[in-house]
Each structure stands twice: as C-alpha cells, then as structure tokens.
Amino acid sequence: MDIIYTIWLRSMKRFIRSKSRIIGSIAMPLFFLLFLGFGLNSVVNLPGLGENYIQFLIPGMVAMSVLFTSVFSGIQIIWDKQFGFLKETLVAPVTRLEIMLGQTAGGATTAVIQGLMILILSLLIGLSIQTIPGFLIAIGFMVLIGIGFTAFGIAIASSMEDMNGFQLIMNFVIFPIFGLSGALFPISSLPGWLGPITMLDPLTYGVEGIRYGLTGVSQINPVICFAVIGGFTVAMTAIGAYLFRKIAI
C-alpha cells in the first residue's frame, strides 16, 4: 500500500502545483454550461427530465470534466517513459500492479476533484441538490467514471511512446464517447438507429447515474447504471493492469 500511496501523492502534488491544468480542465465544461445552458434554457423543453435545460445539462458537464481529466491523466505514463522516471520505478522492488493502481488512484482523484469544482460552480448558477444521499450517489458515480477512464487512459498509454499520438487518439475516441453519452441531450430523443449505439457507451450510464443523484430523474434505471459503469471500471482496471505489466524497460 505504501507504493500506491506514494504514487498517488506524487500525482496530487503535480496537480496542485499546476494551476494552468486546473483552470484548463474546468474551462470547457464551464463554457458549455454557461453559454449552451443559458442560451438554450428558454427554448428547450424537457418534460420529466428536470426543471429546465440547465438542470439537465449540469450532470453532463460534471461527467465531462471527470472524463477528460481522467483519460488524459494517462499521458503521465508517456511523460514518465520519456524522462526515465518510469524505468526507475519499474526496476524498484515493487509490483507493477501497485504502480498501476497508484497511477489510477491519482488520476481518478484529480478527476473527481475537477468534477466537484464544476459541481460547486453549478450551485452558483441554479443547481439545487435534491437530497444528501443523492449528492453522495452522484459522487459515487463520479468516482467510478474517474477510475474506469483513468485505467482506460493508462491502458492506451502503456502501448504508446509518442505523447502527441496519444493526444490525437484520445481526442478521436473520447469526443464520440462524450457526444453519445446523453450529456447534452436526452437519449430518448435520439433516432432509432442511434439509440443502441448510445447504450453501448459506458459513459451514458455514468451520466445518467450522476443525473439521478443530482436531480432525482434518470432515463435509465440507476441500478443498471451502477452495474454497467461498475463492470466497465473493473474491466478497464484489469486490462490496464495487464497492459501495464507488458511495458518493456
């Protein structure tokens, strides 16, 4: 556990010292929330899905912040490869599983902190927390999204050497995942052919879980949401650990 904690602490210190990273990670969700939310709030009607469009949009923006921060934390693996830190870590008398879990814990923690920042800012523009248990449910789904997609980012980064290539691939993968998750629009309004594709997106279940916790409404049973995003998190952690063990020194 000491190595997991040490690597987690390193990630947290890097996060706290990088003010530009903190600002940059909340800028896009906040932009969507303010301009898209207020711009469409008066013209979009969502019966049965919350008081207004802003209430509907906030859970999606929280999930967006967690998603992007967690996935791109995998770039730390490539950074450590290039500067030799990863090699020094891998030759230490610790298991690679512990190293991977430490990286995952650090990335997931920073992602959840970013999501909480968006959540706090949302309170200033109209979000009303329904219940304390609901708020805790939302945080639980944020944690699952953070762990699952941090492990996903580590799995991809473990087999790559180029930082720019990692960013290009992640952008190509992550934007469709976000766009199909129902963060910006109700999944019930999608065309029939697109609905099944959306249901294959693991982030859909994370967004709906957060939405249930914050607003009390969801288009998918929250138990199903928990089961799917929980299964995705376990699977990605296992895959990430396997690919991380294959890294050549």
The tens place of each residue's pLDDT in the chain, 249 residues long, gives: 778 888 888 888 888 877 777 777 777 777 777 777 666 666 566 655 555 778 888 888 899 889 988 888 878 888 777 777 777 777 777 788 888 898 899 999 999 998 998 888 888 876 777 788 888 999 999 999 999 999 998 888 888 777 777 778 777 888 889 888 888 888 877 777 787 888 999 999 999 999 999 888 888 899 999 999 999 999 999 999 898 888 766
Q: What type of residue is 216? A: G
Lookup: tokens for 79:
């950074």
Lookup: tokens for 85:
């830190």
Lookup: tokens for 157:
């980064």
CA–CA distance, 23 with 203 (Å, rounded to integer) = 23
Q: What type of residue is 18? A: S
Q: What is the pTM of this model?
A: 0.89
Lookup: tokens for 147:
């762990």
Q: Answer yes or no: are the C-beta atoms of 87 and 249 closer than 8 Å.
A: yes
At residue 37, the 3 state secondary structure works out as helix
Contacts of 212 (CB under 8 A, 6+ apart): 134, 137, 138, 218, 222, 225
Q: Answer yes or no: are the C-beta atoms of 138 and 213 closer than 8 Å.
A: yes
Q: Answer yes or no: are the C-beta atoms of 229 and 209 closer than 8 Å.
A: yes
Q: What pLDDT is stored for residue 41 in this prediction?
A: 63
In total, the chain counts a number of residues equal to 249
pLDDT tens-digit profile of 8-59?
Answer: 888 888 888 777 777 777 777 777 777 776 666 665 666 555 557 788 888 8
Tokens 């430490």 found at: 102
